[in-house]
Homo-oligomer: A and B are copies of this chain.
Amino acid sequence: MSKTLKHDLKADAILNTGMELMWSRGYNATSVNDIVKAAGIPKGSFYFYFDSKEDFALKAIDMYFENHFGPAMKVLNDENFSPKERLLNFYEFRANILREELHCKMGCMCCNLANEMAEHNEEIRKSVALKSSIVRGHILKVMIEAQENNEINKMVDAEHLTDFIEDVGKGAMITMKEMNSSQPIDNTITIIKTLLLR
């Protein structure tokens, strides 16, 4: 095992632990002390693996994206289903994660950080915006297929419909936290099925 690999493995371990904290508490409420304590490393080591707290956050965003987007992507691109079915499976898959894994508490880390930091930290804003645009691109492809198949509503063009549904999801996550309930997520899925993708 090379040193750089070992280095990266340890950095990833710290990221994995600290990411959960920043996901739940946000950027400003998560201190470097919290992270090193949770990861069980001395404080000095943090700055051997990361340039700064901001650097940690940016790398946490990258890791979050890699860990969480991959599985959802598999659902979105599963050729066993029609484009419309893949879209519905994709939204259901993400809804279930919010409902079951996260107990209606934490929402999406990228959305949380964007909401808290976008106005004041351009690096974080750009990083999250890039991730969003990648997700958007993948959904859009399937959305266009579904429209061409005449499987879903054509009154609104695919780009606007894609953006719209992504926004509903983001908003439902805020309401979910606010109400401490999965009802907003359930409602979102229901209406997407009823009105948007019919």
Contacts and interface: CB of A to CB of B under 8 A. Distances in A.
A132 B164 CA distance: 21
A191 B194 CA distance: 15
A36 B155 CA distance: 52
Interface of A: 24-26, 28-29, 105-107, 111-112, 114-116, 118-120, 125, 128-129, 132, 153, 155-156, 160-161, 163-164, 166-175, 177-180, 184, 187-188, 190-191, 194-196
Given A160-B191, A178-B125, A178-B129, A115 B107 contact: yes
Contact of A132 (B115, B156, B167, B178): B178
A153 B191 CA distance: 12
A167 B174 CA distance: 8
Given A132-B178, A155-B194, 5 more contacts: A24-B119, A112-B115, A128-B178, A161-B191, A170-B174
B171 A114 contact: no
What 3 A-B pairs are tightest by C-beta distance, nearest first? A170-B171, A171-B171, A167-B171
